[in-house]
């Protein structure tokens, strides 16, 4: 195995294509393995079980998402201020705590499940910010982010497929399955993290094109938010809706596919996501070809609006019988995941670059994420207590319809705000010159 100086030097001197492929695959693998600590338990049904008047699986998901949401609020300060020297230690600590919670779930009575899943979500909420911090501020950030974000689509389905498979083939119980899946992916996670630690930092050309990325203080975070507060509030609203859609589709994909008539085909959890992943990967990766940061920011907004249109039209066609269930899940999946991926780094990276702001993407991601996952907790509670009789297919379809309309309106408002802000900035620069 290469020593660290050799590996870092070779990656620094590699062509952009080679760098994208190697770094993207390493980041994808590492974050995909983190999914093995977070998502496998949703492959279990825990049929007939309840706790505190809530279906047991919904209760576990709410507990994990609550921990995840709290982690995002903590991450607003923790991730944005974290230096590069402490990233690997933070990842290892996160995985240790998450793995221990899954072992606790396996060993404890079911009544302890809420505690263990809250403890599981609490550290894992830091995972995205930690891994993305290795990639941001580069000329090829979009391409790297596109590869990394495929995890949102493929890795969740894949680890759930593995979870269902080991329950069927190995006879592992629903409570031991999540810990077992996590152990299977642990070696690959260690290798991926070692590789990430040997990435070269952004070059001078990267900094020139994308602006300097630095740890942020509380003062610098406040200044950045105040400067773009109305626009950021609109973007957070869009991301809040996307997070609810994505979490329902992801956490209850087993139930949705079962209601659609594919419950006996666990591979569908992964197979149906492949075209979604390919389309999202191509669209986001191509954004790296756009050198003008402002133009890229406007195109990001256009993609968000386009995703909402896909959700709206495909769901209407499905409800009227003009689309099959599989085609609907694929098209609506593209409509959800394509803009969702943009909000997990790409759109904020271009925002900082277009306005030549220092700081880092982690602050903006976690600001949006914190409210997004809080909304996920609330929508799950409303689903359990307010509309328990509604099927998961009906529930997801309704969210697609109403969510798409809101995103269309908010997307237009956001584009107008940042467009005006950018034109005003360019006018002031011209007057100074």
Task: Please list the residues that pair with 54 across neighbouring strands.
Answer: 51
pLDDT above 70 as % of the chain = 94
* The pLDDT of residue 366 is above 90: no
325-341 vs 273-286: helix axis angle to the nearest 10?
30
**pLDDT bucket at 37, cuts 50 / 70 / 90:** very high
Domain boundaries, given as residue ranges, for the chain:
4-432
* The pLDDT of residue 414 is above 50: yes
Collapsing DSSP to helix, strand or coil, 77 comes out as helix
Query: What CATH architecture is 4-432?
Result: Up-down Bundle (1.20)
Collapsing DSSP to helix, strand or coil, 55 comes out as strand
In this prediction the pTM is 0.75
> If you average pLDDT over residues 397-403, what whole number do you get?
94
State the Cα–Cα distance between residues 32 and 28, nearest whole angstrom.
6
**Residue range 105-114, pLDDT digits in tens:** 999 999 999 9
* The pLDDT of residue 5 is above 60: yes
**Residue range 313-339, pLDDT digits in tens:** 999 999 999 999 989 998 998 899 889
**pLDDT bucket at 1, cuts 50 / 70 / 90:** very low
At CB < 8 A and 24+ separation, what contacts does 406-409 make?
406/237, 406/238, 406/241, 407/238, 407/241, 407/242, 407/304, 407/305, 407/307, 407/308, 407/311, 407/339, 408/305, 408/308, 408/309, 408/312
Report yes or no: 92 and 193 within 8 Å, Cβ to Cβ. Answer: yes
370 token code pair: 């914190």
State the Cα–Cα distance between residues 320 and 349, nearest whole angstrom.
39
Q: Which has the closest alpha carbon to 318: 262, 403, 407, 393?
A: 393
* DSSP string over 287-307: GGG---HHHHHHHHHHHHHHH
- Higher per-residue confidence, 194 vs 142: 194
In this predicted structure, which of 186-190, 285-289, 352-356 has the lowest mean pLDDT? 285-289
What's the pLDDT score for residue 433? 56
**Residue range 200-253, pLDDT digits in tens:** 888 888 787 776 677 788 888 889 899 999 999 999 999 999 988 988 887 787
Compute the chain's Rg from CA coordinates.
Answer: 21
Residue 297, Ramachandran bin (φ over 0: left; ψ between -120 and 50: alpha; else beta): alpha
State the Cα–Cα distance between residues 57 and 403, nearest whole angstrom.
24
Q: Which residues contact 88 (CB under 8 A, 6 or more apart)?
A: 193, 196, 197
* The pLDDT of residue 272 is above 80: no
**Residue range 298-318, pLDDT digits in tens:** 999 999 999 999 999 999 999
């Amino acid at each position: 195995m290469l020593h660290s100086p050799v590996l870092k030097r070779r990656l620094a001197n590699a062509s952009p294509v080679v760098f994208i492929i190697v770094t993207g695959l390493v980041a994808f693998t590492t974050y995909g393995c983190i999914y093995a600590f977070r998502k496998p338990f949703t492959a279990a049904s825990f049929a007939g079980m309840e706790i505190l008047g809530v279906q047991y699986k919904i209760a576990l998901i709410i507990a994990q998402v609550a921990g995840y949401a709290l982690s995002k609020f903590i991450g607003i300060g923790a991730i944005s201020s974290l230096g590069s020297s402490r990233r690997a230690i933070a990842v290892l600590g996160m995985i240790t705590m998450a793995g221990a919670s899954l072992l606790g779930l396996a060993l404890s009575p079911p009544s302890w499940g809420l505690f263990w899943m809250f403890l599981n979500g609490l550290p894992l909420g830091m995972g995205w910010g930690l891994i993305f911090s290795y990639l941001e501020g580069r000329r090829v950030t979009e391409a790297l982010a596109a590869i990394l974000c495929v995890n949102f689509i493929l890795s969740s389905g894949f680890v759930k497929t593995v979870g269902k498979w080991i329950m069927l083939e190995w006879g592992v119980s629903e409570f031991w399955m999540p810990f077992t899946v996590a152990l299977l992916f642990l070696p690959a996670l260690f290798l991926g993290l070692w590789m990430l630690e040997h990435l070269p930092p952004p070059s001078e050309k990267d900094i020139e094109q994308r602006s300097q990325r630095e740890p942020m203080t509380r003062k610098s975070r406040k200044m950045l938010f105040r400067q773009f507060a109305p626009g950021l509030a609109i973007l957070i609203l869009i991301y809040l809706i996307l997070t609810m859609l994505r979490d329902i589709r992801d956490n209850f994909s087993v139930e949705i596919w079962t209601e659609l008539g594919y419950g006996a085909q666990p591979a569908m959890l992964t197979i149906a996501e492949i075209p979604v992943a390919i389309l999202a990967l191509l669209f986001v990766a191509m954004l790296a070809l756009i050198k003008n940061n402002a133009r890229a920011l406007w195109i990001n907004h256009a993609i968000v609006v386009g995703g909402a249109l896909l959700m709206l039209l495909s769901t209407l066609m499905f409800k009227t019988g003009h689309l099959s269930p599989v085609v609907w899940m694929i098209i609506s999946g593209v409509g959800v995941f394509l803009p969702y991926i943009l909000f997990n780094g790409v759109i904020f990276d271009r925002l900082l670059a277009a306005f030549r702001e220092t700081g880092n993407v982690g602050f903006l991601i976690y600001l949006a994420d914190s409210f997004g996952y809080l909304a996920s907790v609330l929508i799950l509670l409303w689903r359990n207590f307010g509309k328990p009789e509604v099927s998961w297919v009906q529930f997801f379809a309704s969210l697609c319809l109403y969510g798409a309309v809101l995103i269309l309106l908010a997307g237009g408002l956001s584009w107008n705000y940042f467009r005006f802000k950018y034109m005003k900035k360019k006018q002031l620069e011209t007057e100074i010159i």
